[in-house]
Amino acid sequence: MTIFPADYLERTYAGVLGKMIGVYLGRPFENWPHERILAELGEIQYYVHEKRGMPLIVTDDDLSGTFTFVRALADYGFDPAITPAQIGQTWLNYIIENKTILWWGGMGNSTEHTVYLRLKQGVSAPHSGSIALNGRTVAEQIGAQIFIDGWAMVVPGDPERAADLARRAASVSHDGEAVYGAQVLAAMESLAYSEARVDTLLDTALALIPADSVIRRMVGDVRDWHAAHADWREARAKVAAHYGYDKWRGNCHIVPNHALIVLGLLYGADDFQRAMMIVNTSGNDTDCNAGNLGCLLGIRGGLAALESGPDWRGPVADRLYLPTADGGRAITDAVTETLHLVNTARRLAGEPALRPKGGSRFHFELPGSVQGFMVEQPIAGGASATLDNVPGHSATGSRSLAIRCHALTPHTAVRISTPTFIPPEAIHIHWYQLHASPTLYPGQTVTLGISADDACSAPVSARLFVQVYRADESLERVYGPSHLLAAGESTSLAWTVPDMGGAPIAAIGLELGTPATRADGTLYLDYLTWGGVPNTVFRRPDGGGAIWGRAWVNGMDHLDHWFPESFRACQNAGTGLAMIGGREWDDYQVSTEITAYIGAEAGIAARVQGMRRYYALLLCDDQHIRLVKALDGRTILAEAPFAWEYERTVNLRLHVQGNHLRAWADDVPLFDLHDTNRPLTDGGIALVCTRGSLGADAVTITPASD
């Protein structure tokens, strides 16, 4: 049995938070030189997003790639011998070309774009990222390093294994010094679970890469400059003079950025804020460098490292966006992603996954966690509320979310909520657009546990609500059940979410009020979760608008919603998918009426886990209908002659339950089979089109039935 550090869960959480804080801190001035940062912002002591007119919580390749590519381990059965080729397949599955995760800067300019095109053309990793294929300049940029943290956090205390996993993952897209830098960082992060001394971290990691590498020589130089100069600014000038951007070809070379991470690590010592100040004020690829260093310092110092200075965690509130072809994981939080990493490590070790509070989505079991919940503003009438993660007040766990209310009256209400879809402030994020599916749908049942403190001065009502987008992108509250809690009382609430007329659910929350003249006191939210498959029809809502269409993650060349049908999808080459839903969906039936206008294939898919993992029922242009499985290639599970023609509408229905698949066309049974070879067991739904266009007006999903 693998022995994990006693504080493995919390240190991983601190690493995830450190990564997020570093990225959010450095993003507003990414790629600014040191001189411009000093002139316009001064030394970076805290978040500067407001000065730059930007939101704090943003989409970013550093975060998306880090928490996406490591999913290869889960997708390939937690095999410790996972190959670069399998990780390359993971790229193809979760990336939507020209839309998600990567900087799409063009062949030979953006390393990752170049490699995606290689993979798409059938070049297998690690050749896809090699110097031999792409040249040294492309292969030695920064990308391997910025995506590497997750691979270290799944092998705590094992730097050799972390470096090996880093090599496999990094070699999909990079080679040479870029791989060495990724290995050094991963080894230090893994060792930091059990070792705090910086010299030991560096010595151990450097011993794992070639002695004659530039990375190893450069780190040695930075350590020498640190020993010779008390002022970090003097050492930074040495880095710029010997290893600056002007010494390397390409847009964002690994060496100068790795040097600044080491600089911040050495001069920051045990002070998270000082390390963040140095690595960000130094310039270059600030969000990447601060994210990597923040992760390392979080692991090394735990949550205490993040709490010793200013309030880094409060503004972030655990919120995280991961836009990929798996849209159900896009709206997430630091706690959720921490559990994914920790459970990956446990599965690699042959141990069962952790399921806090029975697998509740929001469980608040990690110190300080709020999992995206914030108090909605403004609050009228002088009432106020604050949130605090506290020990106790849980029926099945150890912690809860304290909602401290002040001056509630019958005429005031306090609301707390967390996003379930793209929040209003993120609708128009530029650069890396937020592609996401909602996490909550009609037909699913929400449950929560809540209690009132013994010291509450009067009864307080707790009422569930969701916020729903309307056509003008405004939010409307739809209410569920409520309960009036007396002091010391605890209760649970359950609510099956009703039909929303096709409008996406943007957030879920609690409204707190009182019938008394005044109420002060604390309520404790133990857990909030939901489950089950939706029971709903996806269609254009009354009033139309654009935001409802973004609930479908667009893996098509064109996906429009202004035609007579709700959906008009076009794919110029290859196979495109328009996807909705997530990995919580398992057994269900999906159906729609498909009109193919032109093309090779048109149909519906179930258990969609990305662009290249799904079951699909397809009308094919050779007058056949096929049930196919996409998983490391495409397998025809069943086929039959089927006479159809363009512009004729066909009703398609696909039923998945366990490994049992059934399919119908125009209500005629076609296929009934069991998939016994690596069956796909969960995932969302999709419209599928190959080299053509299709239309559909309504897509229905219902729980599976015998």
Q: Does residue 683 register a pLDDT over 60? A: yes
CATH number at residue 149: 1.10.4080.10
Q: Does residue 493 register a pLDDT over 60? A: yes
Domain-located, residue 333:
no
Report cis status (omega within 30 of 0) of the bond before 378: yes
Residues in contact with 375: Cβ distance below 8 Å, sequence separation at least 6, in sequence order: 385, 386, 387, 414, 415, 416
Distance from C-alpha of 595 to C-alpha of 602, rounded to nearest angstrom: 8
Single out the residue in 499, 531, 563 at which a domain terminates. 531
Q: Does residue 1 register a pLDDT over 90? A: no
Nearest CA-CA partner of 336 in 313, 312, 354, 315:
354
User: Are the beta carbons of 248 and 231 closer than 8 angstroms?
Assistant: no
For the record, the structure tokens of 573 come out as 């080459």
User: Are the beta carbons of 408 and 515 closer than 8 angstroms?
Assistant: no
Q: Which residue in the block uniquely carries the two structure tokens 């030394």?
A: 43
Per-residue b or e along 230-258, where b marks 16 or more CB atoms closer than 10 Å to that residue's CB: eebeebbebbbeebbbeebebbbbbbbbb
Residues in contact with 591: Cβ distance below 8 Å, sequence separation at least 6, in sequence order: 604, 651, 652, 653, 654, 699, 700
Q: Are residues 93 and 216 in the same domain?
A: yes
Mean pLDDT of the chain: 96
Domain-located, residue 163:
yes
Q: Are residues 29 and 68 in the same domain?
A: yes
DSSP string of 348-362?
HTT-PPP-HHHH-SB
Nearest CA-CA partner of 142 in 241, 325, 290:
290
Q: Does residue 522 register a pLDDT over 90? A: yes
Domain-located, residue 2:
no
For residue 583, the tally of other CB atoms under 10 A from its CB is 16
pLDDT at 2: 63
Q: Are residues 135 and 257 in the same domain?
A: yes
Q: Are residues 518 and 581 in the same domain?
A: no
Q: Residues for the chain: how many in total?
A: 706
pLDDT above 90: percentage of residues in the chain: 96
DSSP string of 593-654?
EEEEEESSEEEEEEEE-STTEEEEEEEETTTEEEEEEEESSEEEEEEEE----TT-EEEEEE
pLDDT at 287: 97
Q: How confident is the model at residue 543 (pLDDT cuts 50, 70, 90)?
A: confident
pLDDT at 18: 98
Type of residue numbered 138? V
Running DSSP on this structure, what letter comes out for residue 3? -
Mean pLDDT confidence for 667-689 = 98
pTM above 0.85, yes or no: yes
Three-class DSSP category at 137: helix
Number of domains within the chain? 3
- The predicted-structure confidence for 637-672, as pLDDT tens digits, reads as follows 999 999 999 999 999 999 999 999 999 999 999 999
Nearest CA-CA partner of 75 in 94, 97, 60:
94
For the record, the structure tokens of 79 come out as 């095999």
Distance from C-alpha of 560 to C-alpha of 548, rounded to nearest angstrom: 11
- The predicted-structure confidence for 337-385, as pLDDT tens digits, reads as follows 999 999 999 999 999 999 999 999 999 999 999 999 999 988 878 899 9
Domain-located, residue 536:
no
Domain-located, residue 664:
yes
Distance from C-alpha of 328 to C-alpha of 588, rounded to nearest angstrom: 16
pLDDT at 168: 98
Q: Are residues 98 and 176 in the same domain?
A: yes
Mean pLDDT confidence for 530-555 = 94
- Domain encompassing residue 564: 552-703
Domain-located, residue 545:
no
Q: Are residues 561 and 499 in the same domain?
A: no
Single out the residue in 306, 321, 336 at which a domain terminates. 321
> Which three-class secondary structure string do you get for 33-90?
EHHHHHHHCCCCCCCCCCCCCCCCCCCCHHHHHHHHHCCHHHHCCCCCCCCHHHHHHH
Nearest CA-CA partner of 34 in 356, 410, 285:
285
133 phi, psi to nearest 5 deg: -90, -45
Domain-located, residue 454:
yes
Mean pLDDT confidence for 600-604 = 98
Distance from C-alpha of 570 to C-alpha of 560, rounded to nearest angstrom: 9
Q: Are residues 102 and 69 in the same domain?
A: yes
545 phi, psi to nearest 5 deg: 90, 180
507 phi, psi to nearest 5 deg: -160, 160
pLDDT at 378: 86
pLDDT at 382: 86
For the chain, how big is the Rg over CA atoms in Å? 26
Q: Are residues 488 and 566 in the same domain?
A: no
Query: What are the Cα distances from residue 575, in Å, to 228, 556, 565?
Result: 59, 8, 21
Strands 567-580 and 588-598 come out as: unpaired
CATH number at residue 654: 2.60.120.560
Q: Are residues 588 and 491 in the same domain?
A: no
Single out the residue in 474, 499, 531 at which a domain terminates. 531
Q: Are residues 198 and 274 in the same domain?
A: yes
Query: What are the Cα distances from residue 266, in Å, to 183, 219, 226, 231?
Result: 19, 11, 7, 11
User: Are the beta carbons of 315 and 55 closer than 8 angstroms?
Assistant: no
- The predicted-structure confidence for 458-471, as pLDDT tens digits, reads as follows 999 999 999 999 99
Distance from C-alpha of 623 to C-alpha of 644, rounded to nearest angstrom: 6
Q: Are residues 409 and 451 in the same domain?
A: yes
Residues in contact with 315: Cβ distance below 8 Å, sequence separation at least 6, in sequence order: 47, 56
**Cβ-defined contacts of 128-132 (< 8 Å, 24+):** 128/88, 128/172, 128/173, 129/170, 129/171, 129/172, 129/173, 129/174, 129/175, 130/171, 130/175, 131/175, 131/176
Q: Are residues 120 and 171 in the same domain?
A: yes
Q: Does residue 430 register a pLDDT over 90? A: no
- The predicted-structure confidence for 159-204, as pLDDT tens digits, reads as follows 999 999 999 999 999 999 999 999 999 999 999 999 999 999 999 9
Q: Does residue 420 register a pLDDT over 70? A: yes
For the record, the structure tokens of 340 come out as 């994914």
Type of residue numbered 536? T
Running DSSP on this structure, what letter comes out for residue 308? S
Mean pLDDT confidence for 389-397 = 97
Domain-located, residue 43:
yes
Query: For 461, what's the count of Cα atoms within 13 Å in the CB-facing half-sphere?
Result: 18
CATH number at residue 523: 2.60.120.260
pLDDT at 429: 87
Q: CB-based burial of residue 436 (10 Å sphere; 0-12 exposed, 13-18 middle, 19+ buried)? A: buried
Q: CB-based burial of residue 481 (10 Å sphere; 0-12 exposed, 13-18 middle, 19+ buried)? A: exposed
